[in-house]
Amino acid sequence: MTTTRRRTGGRLPVALVVPAVVGLAFLLVPLVGLLVRAPWGTLPTRLLSPSVGEALRLSLVCASLATVVCLVLGVPLAWLLARGDVPGRGVLRALVTVPLVLPPVVGGVALLFVLGRRGLVGQYLDAWFGVSLPFTTAGVVLAEAFVAMPFLVISVEGALRAADPRYEEAAATLGASRWLAFRRVTLPSILPGVVAGTVLCWARALGEFGATITFAGNFPGETTTMPLAVYLALETDPDAAIVLSVVLLLVSVGVLAALRDRWISGPS
Amino acid sequence: MTLHADLRVTRGAFRLGAELVVQPGEVVALLGPNGAGKSTALRALAGLLPLTGGHIRLGERMWDAPPDVFRPAERRPIGVVFQDYLLFAHLSALENVAFGLRARGVGRAAARAEAARWLDRVGLAAHAKARPRTLSGGQAQRVALARALATGPELLLLDEPLAALDAATRLHVRAELGRHLRDYPGHTLLVTHDPLDAMVLADRLVVLEHGEVVQEGPPTEVARRPRTDYVADLVGLNLYRGTGHGTAVSLDGGGTLTVAAPATGPVHVVFPPNAVSLHPEHPAGSPRNAWRVTVAGIEQHAHTTRVRLDGVPPVLADVTTATVADLRLRPGDELWAAVKATEAHAYPS
Amino acid sequence: MRALALVALVVVAGCGTAEPTTGGQVTVFAAASLTETFTRLGEEFESANPGVDVVVNFGGSSGLAQQIGQGAPADVFASASPANMEQVVDGGGTAAEPVTFARNRLEIAVPAGNPAGITGLADFAHADARIALCAEQVPCGAAAKRAFEAAGVTPRPDTLEQDVKAVLTKVRLGEVDAGLVYRTDVRSAAGRVEGLAFPEADRAVNDYPIAPLAKARNAAGARAFVDFVRSDRGRAVLAEAGFDAP
């Protein structure tokens, strides 16, 4: 009796296991290839070179700032999409995901059209305030935020739509304004979704290449983030590119694993 | 100050049109089947749903009068106990109770002190720091009640406040809720589909069917003279107040009933009309309640015949058409009513 | 499973047999700066040789050289730099000695109307001029470096772009006041971008080598296409686009 039951409970369906294992291998084997080909002998000296440190520092700073921008703008946007009585919400929701499907290079060109020196908005920023965003670290942050924000908006909006709006009603009957209800009731209840979105958003910003190089250009110490450094290194020194990639890989896996344990695995 | 509400809400094919008047200190139970419009009425009173017609007025203050006036929920002096309580999971019991005070501008320390007093009143002082999900159903219900009352609302709205509890917990929580409602000076509207809750807790019943009020009045009156089959089925309960001395309960209105489980102190004794059997002579045999009654009225309902009987105590009996014919029942006839002790339940009140 | 089998089949076919005819398909790997000319040359080659299908894969020369090294199915390689061609030759990838078929020289590109009033390489050292150059790792960047060294100018670029087209885009959009690109790029953006020739450009001329590849599936077709590029007709098309003859 017991044996039979145990076996039935433990058997995993082949139709799921086989594709799952293939999928896992598909995702992991390229990483293994990267690690196998890494020039481990010269790794320490390469890692300690100032250009690597500079690119890594810039990447981490820009990705984090971009994530802050995404949080400040993206969480309210997600709320508007999930709870606001705005007309054409479905269309808005679709538009928000445009940066997901847009090739990042095109996103970068679009940013230039708007915020560039001769852009729709940029020309006034330049003329009135003397502010020019392309080729600056601020430009990197903007490009990364543009590409990464949909990840945050989508996961926060999903969390908001899964959250029971009656808690906000309960807060209202206790005298809370919608802002207070959002801050004290809704936000804490969707915190896991916000954290998951933040992590995705940060990871996407960290790996951002196309929009960054198109909008912010590439200048060491100013706008050369790790992915840009990797791309240019590939032209002449593939070993250096692998080293940079391994660094990026280890840093992101480290951060994501730490956050995942703390937040994403959920209450268990 | 009296609450006057002429609740008119049209949503798609559904129409609610119900007038409600609640006096200060009065507990009104809104009773009705699913889809009758109870929740709509409660949401309209709470300000979670605007009326499409009519008005809501407390004393001289207008809360809702389309198209000009609408005071949203956060600006109405109300307290709501929701069916599944909706306690904020990330806040402790104390913070939940303090939430309304904080939202209404009370300082942090004062709000916490007041919240602690309320938790003490509902007997949960020891659980102030507990998260809602660690509380039992009965405890969560009491936190929800404390949270709703802590702001000193003028209108207390209870949405199926006992529905989420298991039968055993329900008895105690119902009795305790009854005590709090008696102490509460404001207006109370209780939405329920449970006739026992309504009859035990409310001063007045309002029965809603298909968005309209079909009957209203004191619980015993509605039970004795149900105007529709639904009301007859629903509130057809024999309900008495009394004092328990073991299995014997002496009723406040006279008479004694023997109940299944021993009880002491003030209780309600309840049994359904179909637990009552009628006999021409004193029934012999098993230990049960039997007393002399006189037929006061006979009403034919969809599936049964309900006989109103005067006696000590008066009682309602549902009998089959065959019994009516056998006994040749007519008003004024003298009979014996009998109820098995196992059918009569005593609840602490 | 069927999809996997298909992938395997394509891979096998890709590494597979050679067809010694002028018919069929000729696969050309060509530098991105040859996009306009080689598209046109491919079409003309097709109409001159009915039944032949020219497929051109454009990309950065270094990336193309790496792909050929990894066994990509190519018949001809046309590179924007001798160094990348050298890479393929060293790997034993060419079927014949590479020959230079065109030269490209750098020009200063400025947005239409030249708003910043750029006159020569010396302006690239001004702090207030917005300058885009190619990164040194890519051929146009290496060429620019040679030109600046010859001119004795230390440029102050605002951005080091990943390829010459990216520099051109920045000039075209007016995001920079000047950039250093190939003359062919200025030609291709005529109207939106103006070109300024400068004397030191002679010191930074880029040779474009071409060679048929050893693993060509269509060796005859590969040779025929290389010959066509070097013919008078081929030179005319290249000259029109702004290339110098070798």
pLDDT (tens place) for every residue of chain A, 268 residues total = 444 444 555 678 888 999 999 999 999 998 888 888 888 888 888 778 788 888 989 999 999 999 999 999 999 999 999 988 888 888 999 999 888 889 999 999 999 999 998 889 989 998 898 888 999 999 999 999 999 999 999 999 999 999 999 999 999 999 999 999 999 999 999 998 999 899 889 999 999 999 999 999 999 989 999 999 888 888 777 788 888 888 888 888 887 787 766 655 544 3
Q: Which domain holds residue A191?
A: 45-264
Does C246 fall in a domain? no
Residue of A nearest to C66 (CA): A235
Neighboring chain A residues of C130 at a CB cutoff of 8 Å: 117, 135
Which CATH number goes with the domain that contains C189? 3.40.190.10
Give residue ranges of A with CB < 8 Å to any C CB: 109, 112-113, 116-118, 134-135, 213-214, 216-220, 223-224, 228, 231-238
Which CATH number goes with the domain that contains A60? 1.10.3720.10
Dist. CA C84–CA C80, nearest whole Å: 8
B164 touches chain A (CB under 8 A): no
What is B3-235's CATH topology?
Answer: Rossmann fold (3.40.50)
- First vs last C-alpha separation in chain C: 52
Neighboring chain A residues of B90 at a CB cutoff of 8 Å: 188-189, 191
Which residue from A166, A177, A180 is facing B86, i.e. has the nearest CB?
Answer: A166
Does A9 fall in a domain? no
**DSSP secondary structure letter of residue A185:** I
Short-list B140, B95, B87, CA closest to B114: B95
Query: For chain A, how many structural domains are there in total?
Result: 1
Dist. CA C73–CA C95, nearest whole Å: 14
Short-list C28, C133, C165, C143, CA closest to C83: C143
Short-list B330, B92, B32, CA closest to B40: B32
H helix or E strand, kind and range, residue B33 = none
Strand order in the sheet with B305-311: B276-279, B334-340, B288-300, B305-311, B315-319
Looking only at the bridges linking them, the beta strands covering B3-11 and B14-22 are antiparallel
**DSSP secondary structure letter of residue A12:** P
**By three-state DSSP, how is residue B206 classified?**
strand
What mean pLDDT is reported for chain B? Answer: 90
Whether the CB-CB separation of B185 and B11 falls below 8 Å is answered with no
Per the DSSP assignment, residues forming a β-bridge with B336 are B279, B292
Report, as an integer, the average pLDDT of B8-30: 94
What mean pLDDT is reported for chain C? Answer: 87
C226 pLDDT more than 60: yes
Residue of A nearest to B81 (CA): A170
**By three-state DSSP, how is residue B161 classified?**
coil
Q: Find tokens 């990447």 and name the residue.
A: A59
Dist. CA B265–CA C77, nearest whole Å: 102
Does A184 fall in a domain? yes
Establish whether chain A is in contact with chain C, requiring a minimum of 3 CB pairs below 8 angstroms.
yes
Taking each helix axis from N to C end, the angle separating B93-103 and B108-121, rounded to the nearest 10 degrees, works out to 130
8 Å CB contact of B74 and A166 = no
**By three-state DSSP, how is residue B126 classified?**
helix
Q: Which residue has better confidence, C174 or C203?
A: C174
8 Å CB contact of C175 and A116 = yes
pLDDT of residue A257: 81
Query: To the nearest 10°, the Cα dihedral for A156, A157, A162, A164?
Result: 100
Dist. CA C80–CA A265, nearest whole Å: 51
pLDDT of residue C8: 39
Touching partners of C (3+ C-beta pairs < 8 Å): A
Retrieve residue B308's tokens.
Answer: 């109103």
Does A240 fall in a domain? yes
8 Å CB contact of C175 and A235 = no
Neighbours of A118 (CB within 10 A): 14
pLDDT of residue C1: 41
pLDDT digits (tens, 9 = 90+) for C185-212: 999 888 899 999 999 888 888 899 999 9
8 Å CB contact of B73 and A172 = yes
pLDDT of residue B19: 94
pLDDT digits (tens, 9 = 90+) for B47-105: 999 999 999 999 999 999 999 999 999 999 999 999 999 999 999 999 999 999 999 99
Query: For chain C, how many structural domains are there in total?
Result: 2
pLDDT tier at B46, thresholds 50, 70, 90: very high
8 Å CB contact of A171 and B151 = no
Report, as an integer, the average pLDDT of C100-127: 93
* CA distance readout (Å), C82 to C63, C90, C143: 14, 12, 12
Encode B39-81 in three state secondary structure: HHHHHHHHCCCCCCEEEEEECCEEEEECCCEECCHHHCCEEEE
Does A57 fall in a domain? yes
Looking at the fold, whether C90 and C111 belong to one and the same domain comes out as no
H helix or E strand, kind and range, residue B125 = none
pLDDT digits (tens, 9 = 90+) for A39-89: 888 888 877 878 888 898 999 999 999 999 999 999 999 999 998 888 888
Does C153 fall in a domain? yes
Nearest chain A Cα distance for residue B79, angstroms: 6
φ, ψ dihedrals at A60, nearest 5° = -65, -45
B88 touches chain A (CB under 8 A): yes
Looking only at the bridges linking them, the beta strands covering B256-271 and B238-251 are antiparallel
What is B238-348's CATH topology?
Answer: OB fold (Dihydrolipoamide Acetyltransferase, E2P) (2.40.50)
Q: Which residue has better confidence, A260 or B259?
A: B259
Neighbours of C67 (CB within 10 A): 16
Q: Which domain holds residue C166?
A: 106-203
Dist. CA B266–CA B252, nearest whole Å: 10
**DSSP secondary structure letter of residue A1:** -
**By three-state DSSP, how is residue C59 classified?**
strand
**DSSP secondary structure letter of residue B85:** -
Report, as an integer, the average pLDDT of B317-334: 84
Dist. CA A139–CA A122, nearest whole Å: 12
Neighboring chain A residues of C170 at a CB cutoff of 8 Å: 217
Looking at the fold, whether C8 and C83 belong to one and the same domain comes out as yes
Retrieve residue B278's tokens.
Answer: 């009628």
Report, as an integer, the average pLDDT of B187-201: 89
Cα Rg, chain B, nearest whole Å = 22
Report, as an integer, the average pLDDT of B14-21: 94
Neighboring chain A residues of C162 at a CB cutoff of 8 Å: 213, 218, 228, 231-232
8 Å CB contact of A118 and C175 = yes
φ, ψ dihedrals at C189, nearest 5° = -110, 25
Report, as an integer, the average pLDDT of C16-40: 76
B151 touches chain A (CB under 8 A): yes
Looking at the fold, whether C143 and C51 belong to one and the same domain comes out as no
Tell me the domain boundaries of chain B: 3-235, 238-348
B63 touches chain A (CB under 8 A): no
Retrieve residue C84's tokens.
Answer: 């990348």
Neighboring chain A residues of B88 at a CB cutoff of 8 Å: 167, 170-171, 184-185, 188-189
Looking at the fold, whether C211 and C197 belong to one and the same domain comes out as no
Site from A125, A231, A235 to mutate, C interface, most C CB atoms within 10 angstroms:
A235
* CA distance readout (Å), A43 to A230, A231, B283: 15, 18, 101
Taking each helix axis from N to C end, the angle separating B137-150 and B93-103, rounded to the nearest 10 degrees, works out to 20
pLDDT of residue A3: 46
pLDDT of residue B233: 75
* CA distance readout (Å), B145 to B56, B87, B124, B187, B221: 24, 10, 12, 14, 29
8 Å CB contact of B82 and A166 = yes
Which residue from C132, C137, C157 is facing A235, i.e. has the nearest CB?
Answer: C137
Which residue from B48, B99, B157 is facing A174, i.e. has the nearest CB?
Answer: B99
Site from A126, A218, A230, A231 to mutate, C interface, most C CB atoms within 10 angstroms:
A218
Neighboring chain C residues of A217 at a CB cutoff of 8 Å: 132, 158-161, 170
B186 pLDDT more than 70: yes
Looking at the fold, whether C170 and C188 belong to one and the same domain comes out as yes
pLDDT of residue C89: 93
